[in-house]
Amino acid sequence: MKIAIPLATALALGLAAPLAAQADALEQQLDELQDFQIIAHRGASGHAPEHTWPSYEKAREMGADYLELDLHMSADGELMVIHDDTLDRTTDGEGKVKEHSLAELKALDAGSWFNKAHPERADEAYEGARMLTLDEVIDRYGSDVRYYIETKSPERYPELQRALVDTLEANGLVASGSVVIQSFSQGSLQQIHQLNADIPLVQLVWYSPAEDGSGLTEWTGVTPDPAEISDADFQAIADYAVGIGPNVVYDSEDVIDAGFVEQAHDNGLLVHAYTINDPEQMQRLLDWGVDGMFTNFPDRLSGLVE
Ligand code: G3P
Ligand code: CA
């Protein structure tokens, strides 16, 4: 539970300076979020196997502002960094992440698949790369990096939100302004907001054509079709989040436009678009005024924003 300490008590306890430093760090993070942010999607996952040390190290070298991490849980309750809910695509294992223990998951090869899938970018060093736990990533980087963490499939892991916030708080990463949390699940974000209202949150949305041909639909129903989105829709998100994270294109067709970005801004929301790998698309979105992009190629984006 978070306990608010009155300033007079903090002064008496000699805590005022640390509390002020924490407030400064959070304020600095929020200030810096007003600038453009390069979010390394699963690390520099265009260059190295996603969610492995090489992917994260390359993202840091390439000037990413945030490392993006997707979370699932092992059978024994460890927070695991992996995108899919199954092991088959990115490891030599199979089946659901949540049906394997931490020890079983750590024994898997999470790197060799990349060399087969991307021979032009293959590297022997990727062979045998291990899946990572959130604790391992935090132990290595601490507050030297910023983390953009997605609660994946939170309905499958009702305890994930609490475990995540506890981990971040125990490591001082909320106070140091080191974390943004994103999710497609409004319920997950609202739960996290209740657990710690200081954590900046971003509501992900996914627009695709409605089956009845009536325009676009949002996957989780958080907003209507962007053509019909109202200030009240954005304000409902702004109640708990600092930003919205939309897909930009579906099947080569734009699903949002510059007007969407402007309206989000007018309602106090940042716009972090995903997942943008093409430099022309990056430049178009920069021209629209988006506040950040998720990309597998942080080097391409840093070349445009420098
Ligand atoms: O987090 C933004 C983006 O990563 C959401 O899509 O499927 O790559 O996690 P996904
Ligand atoms: Ca993600």
Tell whether 126 is covered by a domain. no
Tell whether 220 is covered by a domain. yes
Q: Are 22 and 259 in contact (CB under 8 A)?
A: no
Task: Please state, in angstroms and rounded to a whole number, the distance separating the CA atoms of residues 179 and 156.
Answer: 23
Proportion of the chain above pLDDT 70, given as a percent? 94
**Ligand lying closest to the C-alpha of residue 81:** 2
Tell whether 186 is covered by a domain. yes
pTM above 0.85, yes or no: yes
Tell whether 131 is covered by a domain. no
Please give the tally of structural domains in the chain. Answer: 1
The rounded Å distance from CA 8 to ligand 2 centre is: 42
Pocket of ligand 1 (CB under 6 A): 41, 68, 70, 83, 150, 182, 204, 245, 274-275, 294
The rounded Å distance from CA 105 to ligand 1 centre is: 22
Task: Please state, in angstroms and rounded to a whole number, the distance separating the CA atoms of residues 91 and 111.
Answer: 7
> Dihedrals φ, ψ of 275, to 5°?
-105, 120
Nearest CA to ligand 1 atom 1: 150
| Ramachandran bin of 223, using left for φ above 0, alpha for ψ from -120 to 50, beta for the remaining angles | beta
Tell whether 1 is covered by a domain. no
Tell whether 104 is covered by a domain. no
- CATH assignment at residue 288: 3.20.20.190
**CA contacts within 13 A on the Cβ side of 49:** 29
**Residue found by looking up tokens 């924490």 in the block:** 22
Q: From residue 237, how far is each of 157, 199, 205, 270, 294 by CA, in Å? A: 23, 15, 11, 11, 20
Tell whether 153 is covered by a domain. yes
The string of pLDDT tens digits covering residues 35-91 is 999 999 999 999 999 999 999 999 999 999 999 999 999 999 999 999 999 999 999
Q: Which domain holds residue 295?
A: 36-85+143-305
> Dihedrals φ, ψ of 27, to 5°?
-65, -40
Tell whether 233 is covered by a domain. yes
Residues 6+ apart with CB under 8 A from 76: 101, 102
Query: Which residues surround the ion ligand 2 when the cut-off is CB under 5 Å?
Result: 70, 150
Nearest CA to ligand 1 atom 2: 274
The string of pLDDT tens digits covering residues 5-32 is 444 454 455 556 667 777 899 999 999 9
51 catalytic? Reply is no
47 catalytic? Reply is no
pLDDT for res 15: 55
